[in-house]
Amino acid sequence: MAQMLTANRLKDGAVLYWRGENWVEALAEGDVFAAQPEADAALAQAQASVAGNDVVSPYLFDVRDGKPVKEREIIRAQGPSVREDLGKQAEPSTSPLWGGRKSEGFSGGGKAGAHAPHPKNAPHFSTSPQGGGQESEPDVSI
C-alpha cells in the first residue's frame, strides 16, 4: 500500500507532511510513496529535522488513492470531528483533497489542486507500524 510521512511540529504541535526534503501543512501537498524503499528513505531523511528540533516523532502511514486508510490519520489531516469549524478542514489552504468527511462519493483522484499527489499509487503491502509516539491515554478526556 502507498504511504505518506507525517510528524508534529515541535513548537506548536501542528500536523505536518513530508514533501521533497521538507514539511508542509496540507496532506494534499505531501509526497505519496508507492514503494517501501522510497518511504523508508524519506523517513530516514526526515530524522534530520528531528535532530534539528523542528518536528517530533515522524512516522509512515498507509494511504489509498491519496486518502488515509486509518481514521486516526483522517482526523489528523482534517481536524476535530466534533468541531468542523476548526483545524485544517476549516482552512482552504490545508483542507484535504478528498473533500472532507462529509463527502460520500470519493472518486479516487480528488479534485484538481495546485499540488496533486504523486500518481504512482501502486499497491504495496507494508508491515510497518502505524501511528506511535502518541501519549494520549485510552480515556484521554478525563
Partner 1 sequence: MYRYDEFDARFVAERVAQFRSQVARRLSGELNEDQFKPLRLMNGLYLQLHAYMLRIAVPYGTLDARQLRMLAHIARTYDKGYGHFTTRQNIQFNWPRLVDVPDILADLATVEMHAIQTSGNCIRNVTADHFAGAAADEIEDPRPIAEIVRQWSSLHPEFSFLPRKFKIAVSGAAHDRAALKFHDLAVEIVKIGAGETGYRVLVGGGMGRTPYIGYVVGEFVAKQDILACGYEDGTVLMVRLNDGAEILLRRPGSSPTTALAWNAKGTLLALSDEEGDAGIFPL
Which residues would be at the binding site for partner 1 (CB under 8 A)?
8, 10-15, 50-53, 56-57, 72, 75-76, 79-80, 86-87, 134-142
Q: What are the strands, taking DSSP E only, across the chain?
A: 2-9, 15-19, 22-24, 55-64, 67-68
The number of angstroms, rounded, from the C-alpha of 113 to the middle of its chain's C-alpha atoms is 17
Q: By C-beta, is 35 or 74 nearer to partner 1? A: 74
Whole-number minimum distance, CB 68 to partner 1, in Å? 12
Q: By C-beta, is 100 or 118 nearer to partner 1? A: 100
Q: By C-beta, is 91 or 107 nearer to partner 1? A: 91
Answer left, alpha or beta for residue 131, where phi above 0 means left and psi between -120 and 50 means alpha: left
